[in-house]
Amino acid sequence: MDGNFNENDISRVVEADRAHIWHHLSQHKPYETTEPRIIVEGKGMRVWDQKGKEHLDAVSGGVWTVNVGYGRESIANAVRDQLIKLNYFAGSAGSIPGSQFAEKLIDKMPGMSRVYYCNSGSEANEKGFKMVRQIAHKRYGGKKHKILYRDRDYHGTTIACLSAGGQDERNAQYGPFTDGFVRVPHCLEYRSFEQDGAPSENYGVWAADQIEKIILAEGPDTVGGLCLEPVTAGGGVIVPPDGYWERVQEICRKYDILLHIDEVVCGVGRTGTWFGYQHYGIQPDMVTMAKGVASGYAAIACLVTTEEVFNMFKDDASDPMNYFRDISTFGGCTAGPTAGLENMNIIENEGLLANTTKMGDYMLDQLAALADRHAVIGDVRGKGLFLGAELVADRDSRDPVAEKMVQAVVGDCMAQGVIIGATNRSLPGKNNTLCFSPALIAKKDDIDQIITAVDGALGRVF
Ligand code: PLP
């Protein structure tokens, strides 16, 4: 029992999993009577489980990560070569792939200039929060330290990230949280009828103006940062309404508030542009990214800032505290930037941004056609290959369907060999949205297979 069992001995794999693995986001009781699912292999858009069953992966590795698809030998080879040359060195030293990837990234992010490496989206966001706090101390005597975050957004799993977390199910029972984080309202137009005073026209500008109201109530001299997802992911695939982002930027500039955009899901191609914020013509001060940065071929996350933010940590070298006093042990792994560079090269060389836009538009049309056939679909929305279909018990009241029905749809698709996601676990009863985020290499046939599976599942479950 020393772990060195043959990888083809699947019953031993399952036995060891049952005995020792604590799966993410899972209640384990069912595994006492059912087998945990083990994914054994992947190629392109497809994965195979321990029983040899093929699945079309419509969620890029479960959580919107494997943007360029499975089995990319060029990434594996680049990482292998780099690991043999130099696998790791941390602290203040740089590395060759670190420099190469930073240059490539910045080339795609006009107005940004500095890359800080770490290894998870949560960690990158925490570092952004720390920067806002440190700037508050340096420039404003510690006063401008509050960070605004939005209802239904998610920024990670640590206590500070949950303090900035707008998904109640994720937060429940993990408090007390950290002071200094203030919630602003969501901008999901489909559910704007639940928001007091929401207008039927110009909702985007109104939703952004709610942020200004909160800034004024808190005191603009106390608010240092605003952290938002460009398109909210786990909170229900929320594409911000027209006029929203432009107004948000104006408000940040007006009150000298750093705009931190969390691109952990949208970053590196998911929505058809390199970054989600680039749809809206805005200029962030800080951008965080993780999942698609290296498509899961290596763990890497980045916090990218403007030169102006960077300079706030450099401009007074006589002050021994005036630098970013932060480190990430695995920010020194060279596999991450090596995989990240090749990942971006693939996206560029294979025209995957254009494919994402084209296939995303096609899929949105197909989802809309599904909504014509199934009254349970209340709303479809998305950008690029990042889409959602919100399920409602009744189209007039927009009451959500029961969570177990959503799980039944996901389970039915799984039985058909198509893996889809659902965000209903995030906000029970309010957010029953089926989620789709196939790899950026998706073709029309793949989309059709996903739609056919969902069509069949909805027909059987409702
Ligand atoms: N930000 C967003 C928008 C996310 O969806 C997630 C994870 O799902 C995170 C941050 C946290 O990333 P990680 O799980 O890499 O810590």
Question: Phi and psi for 194 in degrees, rounded to 5?
Answer: -85, -5
| Token pair for 333 | 């792994």
pLDDT of residue 153: 95
Mean pLDDT of 21-28: 91
Mean pLDDT of 395-410: 92
Q: To test ligand 1's pocket by mutation, which of 151, 155, 328 has the most ligand atoms within 8 angstroms of CB?
A: 155
Q: Is residue 297 within 8 Å of residue 339, measured between CB atoms?
A: yes
Share of the chain above pLDDT 70, in %: 98
- Nearest-CA residue for atom 7 of ligand 1: 156
Distance separating alpha carbons of residues 357 and 269, to the nearest angstrom = 9
Cis status of the peptide bond prior to 176, with omega within 30 of 0: yes
Ligand 1 centroid–CA 293 distance in Å is: 12
Ligand 1 atom 5: the closest Cα is on which residue?
265
SS (H, E, C) 387-419: EEEEEECCCCCCCECCHHHHHHHHHHHHHCCEE
Residue 248 pLDDT exceeds 80: yes
Average pLDDT over residues 321-334: 95
pLDDT grade for 423, boundaries at 50, 70 and 90: confident
pLDDT band for 425, please (50, 70, 90 cuts). Answer: low
Structural domains of the chain ordered from first start: 37-66+351-461 (3.90.1150.10), 74-349 (3.40.640.10)
pLDDT of residue 7 exceeding 90, the answer is: no
Q: In this predicted structure, what is the pLDDT of residue 446?
A: 98
pLDDT higher than threshold 80 for residue 431: no
120-145, pLDDT tens digit by residue? 999 999 999 999 999 999 999 999 99
